[in-house]
Structure 1
Amino acid sequence: MSAPDDHAPGLHLILDLYGVSELEDEAAIDAALTGAAKAAGATVLAHHFHHFGTGHGVTGVVLLAESHMSIHTWPERGYAAIDIFMCGRTNAQAAADHLVALFAPERVVRTELPRGQS
C-alpha cells in the first residue's frame, strides 16, 4: 500500500471582484480569461462567452487541457464572480493575479480550495 499523497493535484480559486467597471465587454472579458490561461501556463482548448444585452453582464467559460476558468458579471453591481480550476504544472495563482490586475477591483475576496487532496 502506498503512502497518501499530501499534495493536491488541483487548485480551485474563487475570486469575488467588487468595484469593477467595464463588465459588459464580451470580447475584452474573453481576452482577459484567455490571457490569464496563458499567464498560468495552461492550454486553451475552447472558449465560449455570452452577453445578456445592453446594461447586462457576460457569462463565459474557457476550457483548458488542465481544467477550466469561468466568469459571470453583474455590471450594475460592479461585481464579477470568477472560478479558476487548474491542475498539472499550471499556476492558478498567476491566472488570478493576471485577472485582478486587468479588472482593477476596489476589493477582492480570494478563496483557495485544494482539490483531490487525500
Structure 2
Amino acid sequence: MDNTLIDPRIIGKHVYGNLYEIPEEIAGDEEYLRNVVVEAAKLANMTLLEVKSWKLGGEKGGVSVIALVLESHIAIHTWINYRYATVDVYTCGEKSDPWRAFNYIVEKLKPKEYTVNYADRTQLLKQ
C-alpha cells in the first residue's frame, strides 16, 4: 500500500501557551481583553465572526474571551489572583497567521514569563 501523502487540503496551525505573572489590572479587564482579541484577529488576517466574554468572580475568578473566526478561534482565559492566563489560537486558513495573533496577545498581556507550543494540524490526503 502506498502511504505517500501528497495534497494538503486542510491547513491547520495551532499556537497555544501559558502566560505567567501578568498584571492583575490586565487579567481582570474584560473590555481590554476583548479589544486585544479583536485586534489580534485583524493582525493575523482572520475573519472575525463573533466575540463572547465573561468575567467570573471568586478566588479563582478571571476573564474568558472567545473569538469565533471564520478560520477557527482565539481564546484567552485569565485567573486574576494567580496573575496567569492561557492563550489558544487555532486557524485553518492558509492566509492567516496564528503566530502573529499569539505574539500580539503576549505583548499586550505583559507576562514576565510565558511558554508557547505549536501543533501542525494539517491533514494530508492522498491524491
Q: Under a length normalisation based on structure 1, what TM-score does the superposition of the two structures give?
A: 0.90
Superposition pairs for residues 70-89 of structure 1, below 5 Å? Answer: 70-88=75-93, 89=95
- In structure 2, C-alpha distance between the alignment counterparts of 1:99 and 1:49, rounded to whole Å: 16
Give the alignment's Cα RMSD to 1 decimal.
Answer: 2.1
1:72 shift after superposition? 1.0
- In structure 1, C-alpha distance between the alignment counterparts of 2:83 and 2:99, rounded to whole Å: 23
Q: In structure 2, do the counterparts of structure 1 residues 18 and 70 end up closer, same or farther at CA, with 3 Å as the change threshold?
A: same
- In structure 2, C-alpha distance between the alignment counterparts of 1:54 and 1:31, rounded to whole Å: 24
**Looking at CA atoms only, which structure, 1 or 2, has the larger radius of gyration?**
2
1:100 maps to 2:102: no
Letter in 1 for 2:15: L
- In structure 2, C-alpha distance between the alignment counterparts of 1:75 and 1:37, rounded to whole Å: 24
Quick check: 1:19–1:107 contact (8 Å CA) kept in 2?
yes
Q: How many residues end up aligned between the 2 structures? A: 118
1:108 shift after superposition? 1.1
Show structure 1 runs of 4+ deviating over 3 A: 5-8
1:51 maps to 2:81: no
Q: In structure 2, do the counterparts of structure 1 residues 54 and 29 end up closer, same or farther at CA, with 3 Å as the change threshold?
A: farther
1:6 shift after superposition? 6.2
1:113 maps to 2:116: no
Q: Which residue of 2 aligns with 1:69?
A: 74
Q: Identity, % of aligned pairs? A: 29
1:111 shift after superposition? 0.3
Letter in 1 for 2:19: L
Quick check: 1:8–1:114 contact (8 Å CA) kept in 2?
no
* 1:91 aligned to which of 93, 97, 100: 97
- In structure 1, C-alpha distance between the alignment counterparts of 2:19 and 2:77, rounded to whole Å: 11
Gap regions ≥5 residues in structure 1: none
1:44 shift after superposition? 0.5
Superposition pairs for residues 26-41 of structure 1, below 5 Å? Answer: 26-41=30-45
- In structure 1, C-alpha distance between the alignment counterparts of 2:5 and 2:62, rounded to whole Å: 47
Gap regions ≥5 residues in structure 2: none
* 2:15 aligned to which of 13, 29, 37: 13
Q: Under a length normalisation based on structure 2, what TM-score does the superposition of the two structures give?
A: 0.84
